[in-house]
Amino acid sequence: MPSRPKPRTGADTRDPGAALLAKLGIRTQFDLVLHLPLRYEDETTLTPIARAREGAPVQIEGEVVACDVAYRPRRRLVVKLADASGVCVMRFLNFYPSQQKALAPGVRVRAFGEVRAASFGGEMVHPRYRVLRGPEPLPEALTPVYPTTAGLTQHALRRRIEAALDAADLSDTLPQAIRARLGLAGFAESARLLHHPQPDTDAAGLRDRTHPAWRRIKFDELLGQQLSMRAHYRARSRAAAPVLAAGELTGRLRAGLPFELTRAQARAWGEIERDLGRAHPMHRLLQGDVGSGKTVVAALAVLRAVESDRQAAVMAPTEILSEQHYRKFAQWLAPLGVRVAWLAGGQKKAERRRIAAEIAAGAVPVAIGTHALFQEGVAFRDLALAVVDEQHRFGVHQRLALREKGEADGALPHQLMMSATPIPRTLAMSYYADLDVSVIDELPPGRTPVVTKLVADSRRDEMIARIRAACTEGRQAYWVCPLIEESEALELKTAIETHARLSAELAGLVVGLVHGRLAPAEKAAVMDAFAAGRVQVLVATTVIEVGVDVPNASLMVIEHAERFGLAQLHQLRGRVGRGAQASVCILLYQRPLSDGARRRLRVVFETTDGFRIAHEDLQLRGPGEVLGARQSGVPLLRFADLARDEPLLRAARAAADELLERDPDAAARHMQRWMGGRTDLLKA
Ligand code: ADP
Ligand code: MG
């Protein structure tokens, strides 16, 4: 953290607790302030033993009247505690001899736990307790229970948080006017309240985070995120980028296409064209459901770079997809005299070196590939545009690396990211707030919607007959093998076995197999044969999940569909329904279904609307998973919940604008407090 003062760093290395705190993501005083309780325990009152009811934790205090080790049915320590109203037993199954000593008759003890009825009256099993040495006042506030980690006691954590609440700067970053207008509580009082609520605080509000103190913390978090997104957006729009002006190639491509762009495609291209003509880097997400025709829009953008005498790169997450793009681009661009190179991980060294040299010399203006594009020794002469297909499949570091290839004399390349995964509204307003977005919201004409069927796998034989019938009529089919997340080897084995079995069951038809372990040339050969219709049934692992485009394939069977995620099923299904004939996607499932699996299958069955699926996916998996959290580089929200806090998010967005406009100092202070040094990766 750039802002961390030196002395603390020194202290940390001597402080054995620092490593434990780091495990909890706590590095600064302010992190401690924001380490909020999971729940509270009420130790502010004592309950007379006779009045303790079952089911709710209580605090009792009394004198030990007996302390014995009992041996049946198991060895245990039995301590009888009496107050004026009655007697309660504390029972410990694991105990130290020292405990037995400390709980000698006559000692006063305060214990906290749930009382349950036992044959001889009430008992507490393993209560938290403290031996009282003298009169000890009861606390005035509820006792916080914090998330912690092995080796760090609640007591130690509380002490540190206490100290941080005293030491950290909790002054308000929000001007009074904004607070008043939005009805927001003060920051310091909110933080203090959440650590130490008074016993009469609205318990439900604390629990479900609707209490005004929670509202303030969540607002601040959302505001921090909005401000940093905005800051990045501004920084980027001030950076320099090559101006790409219109030439004749883009017009010639459009004129030569066998179809007209849809209205949505034309609109998206218009937005991209405008961005590329500016001297600042484009940072745009092109979003369109599977099959909406993003590739041709990308091709136009690529040609815009070429007609300005610059280079463009297209990066795809899988070799199969990158090769397919290579073919498609070559088919479109070769007639215009534009060379296209393909770089993939599995190519021969010498070949890669030759291609890389051509790219470096600027002899080839368009390079297409997987992440191999930005690995070892690939340099561009003047990369002006980086297209990233299925962007959510890439880590932020990979996107950064590609961008860096084009960094020259302080100028950045334009970036076009493409995704078939629609972004739910609240995600778009938060995590993607620094992106411009173009949406292709219509499919090319003449598509028949895919019919989805849910079929128990006991009816597998019928599906085989169905495939045979479809192929006899000249159509083609995919058979998607089960996902086996735990073991790639097992997944491969299953794919090979499935291929063997289907080849036997579908004797007379040509059955191909494609999976991630094939050499690139083998993969290409199978995909080619399938695209050309020489292979009728393609048995595949999820390598075909994204991008594969074979319009004549109109039937897909997904085995063990219950194992796949929602987005995955939607993507897979998007491989069919690309031609004019009616397509069918059969989801074979095996019982028993978990609740989650049942819900996923129902959603995919009920809708082909990518937005609805994305929304459900967000509900089911949460933003972390949907964003590909571990690699997205975006600090996730800890307190705000996008599903429930949309109004707060909107308010934070408006406040971010207002602050930046009227009180940039407050904005900077707020951002520093909340984002600290954690925002560097957002720049990708
Ligand atoms: P995605 O958006 O899923 O990447 P693709 O770019 O692969 O979709 O396009 C799907 C198919 O639709 C391709 O075969 C493509 O050639 C075709 N296509 C794209 N645009 C149009 C259009 N305007 N009219 C007809 N077909 C189109
Ligand atoms: Mg695509």
Cβ-based neighbours of 63, under 8 Å, separated by 6 or more: 81, 82, 83, 105, 106, 107, 108, 109
Residue 328: nearest ligand to its CA?
Answer: 1
Q: What is the pLDDT of residues 225-243, one digit of tens each?
A: 899 888 888 888 888 999 9
- Is pLDDT at 142 greater than 50 in this prediction? yes
- Is pLDDT at 571 greater than 50 in this prediction? yes
How many C-beta atoms surround the C-beta of residue 266 within 10 A?
Answer: 15
**What is the average per-residue pLDDT within 584-606?**
93
Task: Return the pLDDT at 1.
Answer: 36
Which stretch of 136-140, 178-182, 652-656 has the lowest confidence by average pLDDT? Answer: 136-140
pTM above threshold 0.75: no
Categorize the per-residue pLDDT at 5 as very low, low, confident or very high, splitting at 50, 70 and 90.
very low
- Is pLDDT at 405 greater than 70 in this prediction? no
Cα of 313 vs centre of ligand 2, distance in Å, is: 15
Cα of 296 vs centre of ligand 1, distance in Å, is: 7
- Is pLDDT at 570 greater than 80 in this prediction? yes
Nearest CA to ligand 1 atom 9: 293
Cα of 289 vs centre of ligand 2, distance in Å, is: 9
Task: Return the pLDDT at 3.
Answer: 41
Task: Return the pLDDT at 11.
Answer: 40
**What is the average per-residue pLDDT within 304-333?**
91
Task: Return the pLDDT at 401.
Answer: 67
What DSSP state is assigned to residue 381? Answer: S
Nearest CA to ligand 1 atom 15: 293
Q: What is the pLDDT of residues 537-565, one digit of tens each?
A: 999 988 776 667 888 999 999 999 999 88
Residue 318: nearest ligand to its CA?
Answer: 2
Cα of 548 vs centre of ligand 2, distance in Å, is: 7
Q: What percent of the chain has pLDDT over 90?
A: 53
Cα of 298 vs centre of ligand 2, distance in Å, is: 10
Q: Which residues line ligand 1 (CB under 6 A)?
A: 259-262, 265, 288, 290-296, 420, 444, 549, 551, 578
Categorize the per-residue pLDDT at 307 as very low, low, confident or very high, splitting at 50, 70 and 90.
very high
Task: Return the pLDDT at 369.
Answer: 92
Residue 575: nearest ligand to its CA?
Answer: 1
Cα of 134 vs centre of ligand 1, distance in Å, is: 80
- Is pLDDT at 291 greater than 90 in this prediction? no
Residue 322: nearest ligand to its CA?
Answer: 2
Cα of 442 vs centre of ligand 2, distance in Å, is: 14
- Is pLDDT at 403 greater than 70 in this prediction? no
Could you identify the atom of ligand 1 that is nearest to the CA of residue 288? 2
Cβ contact 91:77 at 8 Å: yes
The pick from 259, 261, 285 for probing ligand 1's pocket by mutation, whose C-beta has the most ligand atoms within 8 angstroms, reads 259
Q: How far apart are CA 523 and CA 527, in angstroms?
A: 6
What value does the mean pLDDT of the chain take? 87
Q: Is 522 helix (H, G, I), strand (E, B) or coil?
A: helix
Task: Return the pLDDT at 2.
Answer: 41
Could you identify the atom of ligand 1 that is nearest to the CA of residue 440? 2
Q: What is the pLDDT of residues 470-507, one digit of tens each?
A: 999 999 999 999 877 777 788 888 899 999 999 999 99
Tokens 């989801």 appear where? 587
The pick from 302, 549, 571 for probing ligand 1's pocket by mutation, whose C-beta has the most ligand atoms within 8 angstroms, reads 549
- Is pLDDT at 278 greater than 90 in this prediction? yes
Task: Return the pLDDT at 7.
Answer: 40
Categorize the per-residue pLDDT at 626 as very low, low, confident or very high, splitting at 50, 70 and 90.
low
Cα of 325 vs centre of ligand 2, distance in Å, is: 9
Give, in degrees to the nearest 5, the angle at Cα 306 between 302 and 307. 115
Task: Return the pLDDT at 627.
Answer: 62
> In degrees rounded to 5, what are phi and psi of residue 77?
-100, 125
Nearest CA to ligand 1 atom 5: 293
Cα of 411 vs centre of ligand 2, distance in Å, is: 28
Burial of 234 (0-12, 13-18, 19+ CB in 10 A): exposed
Categorize the per-residue pLDDT at 376 as very low, low, confident or very high, splitting at 50, 70 and 90.
low
Could you identify the atom of ligand 1 that is nearest to the CA of residue 328? 16
Residue 300: nearest ligand to its CA?
Answer: 1
First to last CA, the chain: 19
Burial 156-181 (b: 16+ CB within 10 A, else e): ebbebbeebbeebebebbbeeebbee
**What is the average per-residue pLDDT within 285-299?**
91
Ligand 2 (single-atom ion) residues, CB below 5 Å: 547
Nearest CA to ligand 1 atom 23: 261
Could you identify the atom of ligand 1 that is nearest to the CA of residue 262? 23
Could you identify the atom of ligand 1 that is nearest to the CA of residue 295? 6
Q: Is 421 helix (H, G, I), strand (E, B) or coil?
A: coil
> In degrees rounded to 5, what are phi and psi of residue 5?
-65, 145
Cα of 443 vs centre of ligand 1, distance in Å, is: 8
- Is pLDDT at 344 greater than 90 in this prediction? no
Task: Return the pLDDT at 399.
Answer: 61
Nearest CA to ligand 1 atom 13: 293
Could you identify the atom of ligand 1 that is nearest to the CA of residue 574? 3
Residue 579: nearest ligand to its CA?
Answer: 1
Could you identify the atom of ligand 1 that is nearest to the CA of residue 292? 2
